[in-house]
Amino acid sequence: MENKEKLEGYKFWEKLGRPTKLVAPMVDQSELAWRMLSRKYGAELCYTPMLHASVFLRDPQYRIDGLASCPEDRPLIVQFCANDPDILTKSALLAQDHCDAVDINLGCPQTIAKRGNYGAFLGENWELVTKLIKACHEKLSVPVTCKIRIFTDVEKTVQYAKMIERAGCQLLTVHGRTKEMKGPMTGLASWEHIKAVKDAVKIPVFANGNIQYKADVDRCINQTGVDGVMIAEGNLHDPCLFVGKKTIIWEIALEYLQCAVKYPCPASYARGHVFKICHHGLQRHTRARDLLASSKDIQDMKTAVEVLRDICTQSCGVGKENSVSDDALPMPHWFCQPYVRPAPKPKENRKERPSSTDSGEISKKKLKKMMKRCMKNTSLDLEGLDSAEKVKKLSKIIEAKPNKVTYDICVKCGNPSSTRCVFHLCKPCCKIRAKEVYVFCTVHRNFVPKTKQGNLATTDANLGKEQTVMDHIT
């Protein structure tokens, strides 16, 4: 690779084409086929899925899959997660000739990131974060970028961003949620934090969070002053979000499947994308959902999408003037639109909640356990009984069952032992002890001492020795 001047800050952003619409790095979801579809519908900068630096370094096939691209797939940034500057740098050096920049993931909030000590969980180790960025900035021929999550405190978030800038980051993406805000606790992203970071640093800043429609892109830029907006989940449910096109779910799903044929990817990736695109339609038409769930390849997925199309056309009159929809959605369910997570259910007060015995009810889990214990009982007949009656009958069966057989305990390890073992031990312990004292156990027979003539030593002297050993143990 010929030596090129490494651009920094806004010069680098201008070289990328001054992108304002970005598709986020998404594990198993921002693969080449999806990036090409997103670029067709307005995405100006894309990221690879997050790559584990250590795996990337040692696994050639993982490298090939992670760097899969084509000439039209630019500008492109490769994202890594890591917690070792040396490993991160070596991996980035292998990737730098295939991209326009290398991004360090400092924002992943998932439990696996906590176990692996990367992503947002590096946010409390600023010294390590500095080393990661600085190592890449000094050794790579392409710029280093970062993606972070905010802290609850605005000032701490600002100081963190400034530290990242000093370490050598040339472009910063700020997700306006803390690492605790995920799943049902996702909530709204704080554009206030993002604006504070933008006002404090001198490098380009991208915002991430709260983008569900095209109008949100312009609103976010106007309110925060950022240089661009990155979308993730909004893009998965509506790949045409950036252009504001009102798209029918099966049309865009079939178009994506064509991309997946042209730019092959694992079937699980493609199936996941179709589920997201058609989410609202599949919630209503479960026959198509079941077909998609059992699909094995692209053709099966295409069949499931076509079944969904036919069902919607026949039952909802899609494409006709009198099309009907009683969905509680902004648009009919056959259009691409955002998915809004339901609010978390309030936690019950355990002190005030009546117990199952007080209410005369029993949990399904407990009832299932009781039925399992009584499964061998041939007279078990619970048909037509309510919960309380089932519990009463099952309880009587359980009480009437004979107690479990009890065994002697091995005096050495505590496991069950044979009642007739000369040592009162289990079989493994008996073998060890028999060799130590050179005595034959007539029960376990796992060590056979020999006489000088080669015959089994079963003399009265040996039997007396067994008794002596047993007396010594007890």
Return the active site residues.
Answer: 108
Question: What single string gives the DSSP state of each residue in 296-328?
Answer: -SHHHHHHHHHHHHHHHHHHH-TTSTT-----S
> Can you tell me the distance from the alpha carbon of 368 to that of 133, in angstroms, rounded to the nearest whole number?
54
* Cα-only R_g, the chain: 33
φ, ψ for residue 416 (rounded to 5)? Answer: -60, 140
Nearest C-alpha neighbor of 91 from the set 115, 120, 116, 55: 55
Burial 308-329 (b: 16+ CB within 10 A, else e): bbebbeeebebeeeeeebebee
How far apart (Å, rounded) are the C-alpha atoms in residues 247 and 308? 15
* Tokens of residue 341, six digits: 């997570």
CB 127 within 8 A of CB 151: no
Query: What is the number of other CB atoms lying within 10 angstroms of the CB of residue 45?
Result: 24
Among residues 343, 111, 341, the alpha carbon closest in space to that of 237 is found at: 341
Calculate ∠ Cα 456-459-464, nearest 5°.
125
What are the Cα distances from residue 293, in Å, to 49, 70, 233, 307? 23, 30, 20, 13
Cis peptide bond upstream of 75, omega within 30: yes
Q: What is the DSSP string of 107-176?
A: ---SHHHHHHT-GGGGTT-HHHHHHHHHHHHHH-SS-EEEEEE--SSHHHHHHHHHHHHHHT-SEEEEES
Check: CB of residue 236 under 8 Å from CB of residue 38. no
- For β-strands 45-47 and 205-208, DSSP reports them as unpaired
